[in-house]
Amino acid sequence: MRWVIVGVGVCVMLAGAVVLAAPWFDAARWQGSPEAVRAVRNAEAPTLVVVTPTVVAVRASPPTTEPVVTAVVATPRPPELSTPIALNAEVDVAPSPTPSKSDLVLGDTAFAFDEPPEPGAHAHLNVTVHNPTDSASGPISLALPTSWLAGYRLNTLDPSPIDGNQADGALTLRFDGPRPHSDASLLLTFVTTDEVIDAPRLTVFDAQGRTVGQAQPTTEAPEPRPGPIYSIDIPRLKLHSGVVPVEWEPPLFVVGQLRDSAYVTQGNSVLVGHLRGAAGYNVFDHLDQLEVGDAIIANSRGAAYDFVVTQKQQLPEDDTSPTDSTTSPRLTLMTCAGDWNPITRDYSDRLWVVAEPADVPSPHATAAASASTPSGAPVTRSTRSGHG
């Protein structure tokens, strides 16, 4: 009997260890996944500086080496959210350290879209390098992270580069440097191949490999059109999360937008997130704390869209009617609620929170408090770990 008890105890301990270790393994897999790359990039997407589009004169230059310049055909906006690209989001340009300082000076840098940002849009990068000395500088090099290039395709360069290579997480292009007491101006044009708006974290080196300067310019663009949601902010919950496209199942550590749901303000944009006991899974753990009138900000293509919670209800897990298309703009947020079923490893219900544009009076706002659940009962939540 004693050995049976010991055996049972060991089994319980092993089961507990598996439960505790599972989130760690999930986290390890997530960090290197395409969804993690996209989530970080979306969460850090800048706010656009809106400008009137201008015509940029570009002198097309022939390619030097194959990885430097490739032919580009602008593509129309895809009909659904694009698939993440598997590249390391943490790639940094790492020049060889040197004790000396470059005499050259990194001048103005600018990154601007020539049309509203979306897949297939054209953008250009301007970089100026100043030579304050009496001597010619020799060649200069411009390095762009390959992680950034995952969303852009290099189109033209002016002037033509001397050469270029792609290694150590960066595309490095070498150009003739500025003459004495003169500037060298570089113009690179790109076509977007994904839902991206961020400017590159660029580095310029001199002929000796010394760092001239580093910069990440602001992103300028004409007024963007509504697109997929990049990130959301919920002030009451102190939540800021990147958003990635999903079919239905929420991603592990961030918010997902259903691929077939509407672009922001163009109908019903449906966002889903997990409720689980393990740290990191529970991005929507406190969604039930939202109240009618609370703010939710959806960020898309560098623009912020303000919404206000107007409805909250708890429905059986198989009732997906809140995801139905609508002609009016709304955000619909969903997570798990109700009782945890250890057999099906799922919750019995789903919590749905609906928000509508803050600047549009909604007939739901006055009635939402009495319609918080189908029965009028308070929303119930389980603290047990599981899917949701």
- 71 contacts: CB under 8 Å, gap ≥ 6: none
Per the CB < 8 A criterion, the answer to whether 280 and 27 are in contact is yes
Alpha-helix residue ranges (DSSP H) falling in the chain: 2-31, 34-43, 146-149, 364-367
Residue 324, CB-side half-sphere exposure with 13 Å CA sphere: 5
Helix (H, G, I), strand (E, B) or coil at 100: coil
Amino acid (1-letter code) at residue 375: S
Four-residue CA torsion sign, 139, 142, 146, 149: negative
Predicted pLDDT of residue 341: 78
pTM: predicted TM-score of the whole model, two decimal places: 0.78
Predicted pLDDT of residue 275: 79
Give the closest residue to 62 by CA, choosing from 141, 164, 136. 164
Predicted pLDDT of residue 28: 65
The three-state (H, E, C) secondary structure of 236-258, written as one string: HHCEEEEEEEECCCCCCCCEEEE
- Structural domains of the chain, ranges and CATH numbers in brackets: 49-221 (2.60.40.290), 226-371 (2.40.260.10)
What are φ and ψ of residue 259, in 5° steps?
Answer: -60, -35
With DSSP H G I counted as helix, E B as strand and the rest as coil, what are the percentages for the chain, rounded to 5? 15, 35, 50
Peptide bond connecting 161 to the previous residue in cis, omega within 30 degrees of 0: no
Residue 141, CB-side half-sphere exposure with 13 Å CA sphere: 21
Residue 280, CB-side half-sphere exposure with 13 Å CA sphere: 13
- 249 contacts: CB under 8 Å, gap ≥ 6: 256, 272
For the chain, the farthest-separated pair of C-alpha atoms sits apart, in whole angstroms, at 92
- What burial class does residue 63 get, using C-beta atoms within 10 Å of its C-beta: 0-12 exposed, 13-18 middle, 19+ buried? middle
CB atoms within 10 A of CB 334: 25
Mean pLDDT by 10 residues, the chain (388 residues): 55 46 59 83 94 61 42 35 37 52 96 97 98 95 96 96 93 97 97 97 97 97 97 96 93 92 98 72 88 97 97 94 96 91 81 92 47 42 43
Predicted pLDDT of residue 354: 98
If you compute the radius of gyration of the chain from its CA atoms, what whole number of angstroms results?
Answer: 26
Per the CB < 8 A criterion, the answer to whether 39 and 89 are in contact is no
